[in-house]
């Protein structure tokens, strides 16, 4: 199973950063380069029904080697990396037998990966860590997922004594920009249920995520010379500040945790004439989520009335919903993953995702899809790292899931 290391190091060599400003599908053509490499590997492993779509969705089937009538299981990961940080020319550093001390990522810039800043590093003393060189992200999100699925499939192919039903795998583009499920062909995939392998710390098992919406706010002002502005100027920047101040301070990401939702101001730009703000709105509870959106409309109405004209317009669009609603009727798939971890001597950590995954939308498209760990930390930035030991355990969990489903 240690071949997962070599697969991971190969895959992070592909720059697959997605682009939120692109209107193409996939958002970046370079994602096809990794997809074609994986397509070749799957062919060499002898998988069937391999298909790489023109939208860069890669599907494959590992046929059953058992006569039992078994459910079809799927495993899914995404190939793209986040646009937040460069994913080009990734130069990984391998820290064997980590001693618990600060890791020097980049001597020139004095960039340090320190347990003082990231206390969870202490959990990995004695293990092998893979880090960045402090100039790019690592790409463990989610090439670690891709590597663990590919390694598990290779292991099952090379160990036919392990009996299993039909296994479907898929690798998707553009998950990091919220488009990973846009062109996913659930019918062609043909699984009864699936698991996204896109989580963090070892043991994570998630079947709840945020309800999510985007919010774009436009504030219209009126600019006149400040020397003669009395009762004439309407400063859109000031009104934007009023709007933001009327969203609860305690409902900002930096003040929330667990199941608590938030309003997150992601961008603001403007002049006296016009100011634009973009937010994301999140909450695990659907009723609270709807109340948060109603509050936005109430604030908008109040400010428009107080300024005696429509100075604020808003556009809100739901992005995805909490997959718990779709998973609860088939909780046996969560219990299967939980038992697979226990069988691998891993303590399951069932917790809500403070975000979303392809699995959320896929669950609403008819494919129930909880999320399991890869072992990575500090995704999307230069401090990203992953434990090789955790990746190996993730491979074991995937194999264990197939065993448990067969033996039930």
pLDDT in tens, 27-45: 999 999 999 999 999 999 9
Q: Residue 114 contacts by C-beta under 8 Å, 6 or more apart in sequence?
A: 102, 103, 121
Q: Give mean pLDDT, residues 252-261.
A: 95
| Claim to verify: residue 199 and residue 225 sit in the same structural domain | no
- Residue 39, by phi and psi: left (phi above 0), alpha (psi -120 to 50) or beta? alpha
| Claim to verify: residue 195 and residue 271 sit in the same structural domain | no
Q: Could you tell me what percent of the chain has a pLDDT over 70? A: 100
pLDDT in tens, 337-356: 999 999 999 999 998 988 77
| Claim to verify: residue 331 and residue 219 sit in the same structural domain | no
Does residue 111 surpass a pLDDT of 80? yes
Q: Give mean pLDDT, residues 357-372.
A: 93
Does residue 112 surpass a pLDDT of 90? yes
Q: Exposed (0-12), middle (13-18) or buried (19+): which is 205, by Cβ within 10 Å?
A: buried
Are the CB atoms for 369 and 196 separated by under 8 Å? yes
Predicted confidence at residue 201, as pLDDT, reads: 95
Long-range CB contacts (within 8 A, 24+) of 22-27: 25/55, 25/56, 25/173, 25/174, 25/179, 25/182, 25/183, 26/55, 26/56, 26/80, 26/173, 26/174, 27/80, 27/173, 27/174, 27/177, 27/179
Does residue 2 surpass a pLDDT of 90? no
Domain boundary among 267, 286, 320: 320
pTM: 0.89
Q: Give mean pLDDT, residues 45-51.
A: 98
CATH number at residue 253: 3.30.70.360
| Claim to verify: residue 149 and residue 230 sit in the same structural domain | no
Cis amide linkage into residue 142, ω under 30° from 0 = yes
Would you please indicate which residues are annotated as catalytic (active-site) residues?
80, 175
Predicted confidence at residue 368, as pLDDT, reads: 97
CATH number at residue 68: 3.40.630.10
Cα-based distances in Å from 192 to 42, 325, 367, 399:
22, 17, 7, 17
Domain boundary among 320, 355, 373: 320
Does residue 357 surpass a pLDDT of 90? no
pLDDT band at 408 (very low <50, low <70, confident <90, very high): confident
| Claim to verify: residue 42 and residue 187 sit in the same structural domain | yes
pLDDT in tens, 142-165: 999 999 999 999 999 999 999 999
| Claim to verify: residue 307 and residue 359 sit in the same structural domain | no
Predicted confidence at residue 226, as pLDDT, reads: 93
Residue span of the structural domain in which 363 resides: 3-208+322-407
Predicted confidence at residue 1, as pLDDT, reads: 59
Query: What is the average pLDDT value for the chain, to the nearest integer?
Result: 96
β-pairing verdict for 371-372 and 193-197: parallel
Cα-based distances in Å from 348 to 3, 246, 403:
24, 40, 18
| Claim to verify: residue 304 and residue 333 sit in the same structural domain | no
| Claim to verify: residue 38 and residue 28 sit in the same structural domain | yes
| Claim to verify: residue 9 and residue 110 sit in the same structural domain | yes
Are the CB atoms for 72 and 191 separated by under 8 Å? yes
Domain boundary among 291, 320, 349: 320
| Claim to verify: residue 264 and residue 350 sit in the same structural domain | no
Structurally, the chain folds into a number of domains equal to: 2
Q: Give mean pLDDT, residues 262-286.
A: 96
| Claim to verify: residue 215 and residue 81 sit in the same structural domain | no
| Claim to verify: residue 125 and residue 188 sit in the same structural domain | yes
Are the CB atoms for 77 and 196 separated by under 8 Å? yes
pLDDT band at 166 (very low <50, low <70, confident <90, very high): very high
């Amino acid at each position: 199973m240690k071949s997962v290391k070599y697969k991971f190091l190969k895959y992070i060599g592909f720059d697959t950063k997605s682009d939120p400003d692109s209107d193409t599908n996939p958002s970046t053509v370079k994602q096809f380069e990794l997809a074609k490499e994986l397509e070749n590997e799957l062919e060499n492993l002898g998988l069937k029904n391999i298909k790489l779509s023109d939208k860069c969705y890669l599907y494959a089937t590992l046929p059953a080697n058992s006569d039992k009538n078994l459910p079809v299981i799927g495993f899914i990961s995404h190939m793209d990396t986040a646009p937040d940080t460069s994913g080009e020319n990734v130069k990984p550093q391998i820290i064997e037998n980590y001693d618990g001390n600060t890791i020097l990522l980049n001597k020139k810039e004095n960039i340090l990966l320190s347990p003082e800043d990231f206390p969870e590093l202490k959990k990995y003393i004695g293990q092998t860590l893979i880090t960045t060189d402090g100039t790019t992200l690592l790409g463990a999100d989610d090439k670690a997922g891709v590597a663990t699925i590919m390694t598990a499939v290779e292991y099952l192919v090379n160990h036919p004594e392990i009996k299993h039903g039909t296994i479907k795998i898929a690798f998707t583009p553009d998950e990091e920009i919220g488009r990973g499920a846009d062109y996913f062909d659930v019918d062609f995939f043909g699984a009864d249920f699936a698991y996204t392998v896109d989580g963090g710390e070892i043991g994570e098992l998630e079947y709840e995520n945020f309800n999510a919406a985007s919010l774009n706010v436009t504030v219209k002002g009126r600019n006149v010379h400040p020397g003669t502005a009395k009762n004439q100027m309407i400063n859109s920047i000031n009104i934007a500040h009023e709007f933001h101040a009327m969203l609860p301070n305690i409902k900002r990401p930096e003040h929330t945790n667990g199941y608590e939702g938030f309003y997150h101001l992601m961008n603001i730009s403007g002049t006296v004439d016009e100011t634009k703000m973009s937010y994301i709105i999140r909450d695990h509870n659907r009723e609270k989520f709807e109340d948060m959106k109603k509050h936005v409309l109430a604030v908008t109405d109040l400010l428009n009335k107080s300024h005696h004209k429509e100075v604020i317009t808003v556009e809100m669009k739901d992005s995805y919903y909490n997959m718990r609603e779709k998973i609860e009727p088939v909780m046996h798939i969560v219990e299967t993953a939980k038992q697979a971890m226990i069988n691998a001597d891993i303590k399951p950590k069932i917790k809500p995702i403070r975000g979303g995954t392809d699995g959320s939308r896929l669950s609403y498209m008819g494919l129930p899809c909880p999320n399991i760990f890869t072992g990575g930390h500090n995704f999307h930035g230069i401090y990203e790292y992953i434990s090789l030991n955790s990746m190996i355990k993730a491979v074991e969990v995937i194999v264990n899931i197939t065993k448990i489903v067969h033996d039930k």
